[in-house]
Structures are given as C-alpha cells and as structure tokens.
Amino acid sequence: MEGGKWLPVENIRIKRCVIQGAVKVSGMAINGEDKSLTSSSRREGHTERVRANAPRGIVFSGNQFIGNGAIPIYFSPGVHNSMILDSKIGGFSRSVAIYLDAESGDNTIQGNQIDTETTLPQTTTNKVRNLFYGLFNQVSGANNAPSLTGRELLAIDGSARNKIVGNRFSNLDNGGIFLYRNCGEGGNIRHQTPHGNQILDNVFYYDKFDGRTPAIWLGSHNGNRSYCELDHGYPLV
C-alpha cells in the first residue's frame, strides 16, 4: 500500500516449479470474511473496488503443487485475469484443491490434473458430525447431499466468468466443482454471484460413484451456516 492506496501485483509468471505447501494470491483481503472488506462490502461498487486492488495477470503454468493441509491454490477476493495452466495439483488439503473467492473472476483453469486428497481424517469429532448430518438429511429428504467428510476439489464462491477447460479431475470422493455464494460470512456482503462461468471439456474420473458427490454442484454452500444473518439489513444483498 502506498499513500493509502493499494498497488496490486500484476503480470507475474510462475513456471515449471515444484511447490510444496500452498500458494495464496491476495490483495486487500486474505479471504472473503476478512474484516478489511466489511466497510467496502456495505457500499455500492464493492466488486469494482476489490478488483482494482487485487492481483491480475498472474499465470501459473507447468507446475506441480503438493498440498500439505492448506489449500494448494487460493485466489483471494478480487483476483482476476489470472491462469492456472498445464499443472498437477495433488497432495492433501483440509479444505479444497483450488478456491476462487468472492468478487474474483475472468480467470482460466485449463489443462490441469487435479487429484488432491480432500477427505478429512476420521476423528471422533468428524464421525459425530457426520452422524447427525446424515440423520438431518434423512429427515429432510436430502438423501443425495454431499457429506461432511471433506470438500470438493474446486470451489467457485461468488467468482464470475471463469473458464474451467480441459482439466482432469479425480479423487472425487467429495465432489468436483461446486459453485455457490456464501452468505454473510464474517459480516461481509458478497455482491457478485457465481455467474458466467464456463465449464468445458473436462474429465471427471470416479473410481466408484454412489450418487452422493456430484461432479458439478450448483447452489448454496452445503449445510446451514450460523453467519447467514450477518449481512441482513442492507439493500445490497
């Protein structure tokens, strides 16, 4: 930041690297619930402000990403006109393999092999949560809802006009590409819907499929969230 204004990183290329751990591309906020976004999110023009202060033109090509628990590739709010090309995204994540966060967009994910392990360890806490979640779904009739044992491979959360082309997704125990918009998380209003995304010519390889974890999920973030009321009372929702 200089003189009270952000100086976004632009036009960087990372090529043919082996990256163990995680990569986060971020501007004025590290994620969609960051408090630095709250004031802006409650005014008109939020998406434009976040994008103006976010990295753009960041290109990852021919890399190998090996997750070690954190999300291997995270595009924070507003990141745009960036690319993930011809890379391998593997390892382990306690969340997803790739996350495109609020107000981001116009990014390209093309020609990658994505097989990150996203199934959570079967701890006692996770087993209890899944038991009650399964009973809830059974009562509500949502028998095909994804489980709480882990996350999808690619999250498109309030991110728009991205191109997801010619990738191979495997290790799909918890689903492939989920498109949604989180509600009120961190008290922030997410202005942009996940609209205009193109998902073309991808391969989703299932070793077995029980109908529970779809290759593509369109809708709200799965499950009830305690923070959904935090953005009420504003005309921008």
Q: What is the pLDDT of residues 43-95, one digit of tens each?
A: 899 999 999 999 999 999 999 999 999 999 999 999 999 999 999 999 999 89
pLDDT-derived band at 230, boundaries 50, 70, 90: low
Answer yes or no: is 29 within a domain.
yes
The Cα–Cα gap between 125 and 128 comes to 5
Answer yes or no: is 162 within a domain.
yes
Answer yes or no: is 211 within a domain.
yes
Residues 82-134 have pLDDT tens digits of: 999 999 999 999 899 999 999 999 999 999 999 999 986 555 555 555 555 45
Answer yes or no: is 7 within a domain.
no
pLDDT on residue 152: 93
Domain total for the chain?
1
The Cα–Cα gap between 138 and 85 comes to 41
Per the prediction, the chain carries an average pLDDT of: 84
Structure tokens at 217: 């999920």
Answer yes or no: is 1 within a domain.
no
Answer yes or no: is 141 within a domain.
yes
- 71 in Cβ contact with 101 (< 8 Å): no
- Mean pLDDT, residues 179-197: 86
Q: What residues make up the domain containing 145?
A: 12-231
Helix (H) or strand (E) holding 177: strand 177-180
Token pair 């003189």 in the structure block, residue: 3
Strands 18-20 and 177-180: unpaired
- 162 in Cβ contact with 143 (< 8 Å): no
